[in-house]
A = this chain, B = another copy of it.
Amino acid sequence: MRFRLTPRDTSFFDLFTDSAQHLVTGAKLLGELLGADRPGRKALAKQLNEAEHLADEATHAIMRRVNQTFVTPFDRDDIYELASSLDDCMDYMEEASDLIVLYKIDELPPRVAEQVAILQRCAELTAEAMPHLRSMGDLSEYWVEINRLENQADKLHRKLLAQLFDEVTDPIHLMKVKEVVEVLEQAADAFEKVANTVETIALKES
């Protein structure tokens, strides 16, 4: 295996930007899926599944590059961490869409759309932040805002759980909706993990 000997392999930034772009696509599809009818949902879930495959390939491209590169722009472990936490965001969004179709859930509480709106905002901010890794400039606003959004998502999630247990009387329907709501909350946590990793990288470099 040949090693690249240029002091800093800048293409990592492009790879991370690429990876985060898939999250914007995924979050958009997830929002559309909520508003669609059953056949529409099936088609959109398939599109989200394909987006997840592309994101997977983007993650593997980063992993391969780390292993082939002699000098990385920041810590190898932080690159792994960032790549795999970006990947987790997509996995959870895809899982949520898949469960909605698989469980044939026709109606979801309106607050689920609010959860997804937060994920869309997180995805956009994350995609905007990635190119700034190169200069390490202007990143603190990004991670502060993601942490604020994750707090908001967490409060919403707990309200949703209380509402579900107050209002839903069919235990099997409750189990289905609860699982979707939990997976969306895990997606929000994964975006926070990405932001925390970016913060760690930026602080090390400062």
Binding site for B on A (CB under 8 A): 1, 63-64, 67, 77, 98, 102-104, 158, 161-162, 165, 169, 171-172, 174-176, 178, 200, 203-204, 206
Tell me, in angstroms, the Cα distance from A158 to B98 when the chains sit together: 9
Identify which of A158, A165, A169 gathers the most chain B CB atoms within 10 Å of its CB: A165
Given the complex, which residues of B lie within 8 Å of A204, measured CB to CB?
A: 67
5 interchain residue pairs of minimum CB distance: A171-B171, A67-B203, A102-B162, A171-B172, A1-B206
Tell me, in angstroms, the Cα distance from A176 to B169 when the chains sit together: 13
Given the complex, which residues of B lie within 8 Å of A178, measured CB to CB?
A: 175
Tell me, in angstroms, the Cα distance from A172 to B161 when the chains sit together: 12
Q: Are A165 and B161 in contact (CB under 8 A)?
A: no
Q: Can you list 19 residue pairs at the A/B interface with Cβ under 8 Å? A: A1-B206, A63-B200, A64-B203, A67-B203, A98-B158, A102-B158, A102-B161, A103-B162, A103-B165, A104-B165, A165-B172, A165-B176, A169-B172, A171-B171, A171-B172, A171-B175, A174-B175, A175-B175, A175-B178
Copy number of this protein in the oligomer? 3
Q: Are A174 and B174 in contact (CB under 8 A)?
A: no
Given the complex, which residues of B lie within 8 Å of A169, measured CB to CB?
A: 172
Given the complex, which residues of B lie within 8 Å of A161, measured CB to CB?
A: 102-103
What distance in Å separates the Cβ of A97 from its nearest Cβ neighbour in chain B?
12
Given the complex, which residues of B lie within 8 Å of A175, measured CB to CB?
A: 171, 174-175, 178
Tell me, in angstroms, the Cα distance from A204 to B63 when the chains sit together: 11
Given the complex, which residues of B lie within 8 Å of A165, measured CB to CB?
A: 102-104, 172, 176
Tell me, in angstroms, the Cα distance from A98 to B178 when the chains sit together: 17
Tell me, in angstroms, the Cα distance from A96 to B161 when the chains sit together: 14
What distance in Å separates the Cβ of A48 from its nearest Cβ neighbour in chain B?
14
Tell me, in angstroms, the Cα distance from A158 to B77 when the chains sit together: 32
What distance in Å separates the Cβ of A191 from its nearest Cβ neighbour in chain B?
17
Tell me, in angstroms, the Cα distance from A63 to B63 when the chains sit together: 26
